[in-house]
Structure 1
Amino acid sequence: MSGYLPILILLLSSGVLDVPAAIAGPNGESRSASSVSRGPIHRTSDRAMDRVVVSEVNSDLIRKAIQKYLMDEWGRKIKTVHVTVLEPVEPVMIPGGTVELQVIPNAMEEGPGRRVFHVEAMVNGKPRKTIQVMADIVAMVDAVVVTRFLKAEEVIDAGDLKTVGMRVHQINHPFVIDQSEVVGKSASRPLPPDTPLRPAFVKLPLMIKKGDRVLIEARRGGLSIRAYGVTKSSGQVGQTVMVSNLDSGRELRAKVVAPSLVEVEF
Structure 2
Amino acid sequence: MFGCLQILIMLLLPGVSDVTTAIAGFHGEPRATSPVSPSRIPRASDIVTGRAAISEVNPDRIMKVIQKHLESEWGRKVKTVHVTVVEPADPVMISGGAVELHIIPNPTEEGLGRRRFHVEAVANGKPRKTIQVVADIAAMIDAVVPARFLKADELIEMGDLKTVGMRVHQVNHPFITDHGEIVGKSASRPLPPDTPLRAAFVKLPLVIKKGDRVLIEARRGGLSIRAYGVTKSSGQVGQTVMVANLDSGRELRAKVVAPSLVEVEF
Judge same fold: TM > 0.5, yes or no: yes
- How many Å apart are 1:240 and its aligned residue? 1.1
Quickly say closer, same or farther: Cα 1:230–1:37, change in 2 above 3 A. Answer: same
Stretches of structure 2 lacking an aligned partner (at least 5 in a row): 16-35
In the comparison of the two structures, how many residue pairs are matched? 240
Q: Within 1, Cα distance between the matches of 2:208 and 2:44?
A: 96
What amino acid is the match of 2:159? G
| 2:16 pairs with 1:36 | no
1:1-266 superposed matches below 5 A: 22=3, 32-34=6-8, 35-38=11-14, 42-47=40-45, 48-50=47-49, 51-266=51-266
Q: Within 2, Cα distance between the matches of 1:261 and 1:38?
A: 123
- How many Å apart are 1:32 and its aligned residue? 4.0
Q: Within 2, Cα distance between the matches of 1:65 and 1:81?
A: 12
What amino acid is the match of 1:195? T
What amino acid is the match of 2:101? L
Q: Within 1, Cα distance between the matches of 2:44 and 2:63?
A: 45
- How many Å apart are 1:36 and its aligned residue? 3.0
- How many Å apart are 1:52 and its aligned residue? 2.4
- How many Å apart are 1:46 and its aligned residue? 4.4
SS of corresponding position for 1:107:
coil
Q: Within 2, Cα distance between the matches of 1:32 and 1:140?
A: 93
Contact map agreement 2:152 2:188 (CA 8 A) in 1? yes
- How many Å apart are 1:195 and its aligned residue? 0.5
TM-score (norm 1): 0.85
Deviations 1:80-106 (A, max 9, x none): 011111211111111112111111111
Q: Within 2, Cα distance between the matches of 1:175 and 1:195?
A: 10
What amino acid is the match of 1:188? S
What amino acid is the match of 1:44? P
Q: Within 1, Cα distance between the matches of 2:163 and 2:238?
A: 32
- How many Å apart are 1:44 and its aligned residue? 2.3
- How many Å apart are 1:221 and its aligned residue? 2.1
SS of corresponding position for 2:12:
coil
Q: Within 1, Cα distance between the matches of 2:138 and 2:244?
A: 57
Contact map agreement 2:213 2:231 (CA 8 A) in 1? yes
- How many Å apart are 1:248 and its aligned residue? 0.4
Contact map agreement 2:52 2:97 (CA 8 A) in 1? no
Contact map agreement 2:109 2:115 (CA 8 A) in 1? no
Q: Within 1, Cα distance between the matches of 2:152 and 2:44?
A: 89
SS of corresponding position for 1:33:
helix
- How many Å apart are 1:109 and its aligned residue? 4.9
Q: Within 1, Cα distance between the matches of 2:120 and 2:109?
A: 19
- How many Å apart are 1:69 and its aligned residue? 0.6
- How many Å apart are 1:22 and its aligned residue? 4.8
Runs of 4+ residues deviating >4 angstroms: 20-23, 37-41
Bigger-Rg structure (1/2)? 1
Q: Within 1, Cα distance between the matches of 2:129 and 2:97?
A: 13
Contact map agreement 2:103 2:117 (CA 8 A) in 1? yes
TM-score (norm 2): 0.85
SS of corresponding position for 1:81:
strand
Q: Within 2, Cα distance between the matches of 1:38 and 1:175?
A: 93
SS of corresponding position for 1:159:
helix
Q: Which has the higher helix share?
A: 2
Q: Within 1, Cα distance between the matches of 2:78 and 2:172?
A: 9
Q: Within 2, Cα distance between the matches of 1:84 and 1:91?
A: 15
Q: Within 2, Cα distance between the matches of 1:122 and 1:156?
A: 53
